[in-house]
Amino acid sequence: MKSRRCFFQLIDLITVCCGIALFHSSCQSKNDPNDMKFILFTPACGTHSALNDNNIYTYKTDAYLITGFQNTAAHEAKIDSFVCTIQDSTWARYTECFILIYKKSKYTNNEYTAKNPRDLDRYSMDNDFLYWYTWANGRLYSKVAIKGYKFYEDVMCIESK
């Protein structure tokens, strides 16, 4: 009888340990920046121009949705790295290029926003807009974290195209 009780206590202990291990591993994978996915957010992309003092200024905006985002330094560094790799040769013809980063959600995604374009301003800008990067003169010029309005002056890409 005593050995039977020890056997069940051992089984209980093993079950608890396995549960803790599974819970721990699932928590870690949710926080892994490598699990983030970047998707072109087409409703927020475009180009425009402006005339000022007889000079024409042209601007390009590329926007991306991200999945798997957590508000950590590692996730922010992953986004910075992504932004540094997407510059292409066409950017040289624009006065400035903007890269906007949104968190993908129920109301901030390509399908919903295509059907409800006004919600980009009404919902997405207030709830899911994370970062605004500016490229000018062939380099990353600035980065703004929208929540808290933090401006980064020392932003740079180690290797830009």
* 38 and 20 co-located in one domain: no
The reported pLDDT for the residue numbered 150 is: 76
In tens, the pLDDT along 13-35 reads 455 444 444 444 444 445 787 88
Backbone φ, ψ for residue 139 (5° rounding): -145, 160
pTM of the model: 0.75
Domain containing 48: what range? 33-152
> Looking at the domain assignment, is residue 103 inside a domain?
yes
CA distance 33 to 74: 6
* 96 and 23 co-located in one domain: no
Tokens at 86, concatenated: 């997407």
In tens, the pLDDT along 85-141 reads 988 888 888 999 999 999 999 999 999 999 999 999 999 999 999 999 999 887 888
Task: Count H helices and E strands in the chain, helices first.
Answer: 5, 7
* 23 and 39 co-located in one domain: no
Confidence of residue 49 (pLDDT cuts 50, 70, 90): very high
> Looking at the domain assignment, is residue 160 inside a domain?
no
* 131 and 67 co-located in one domain: yes
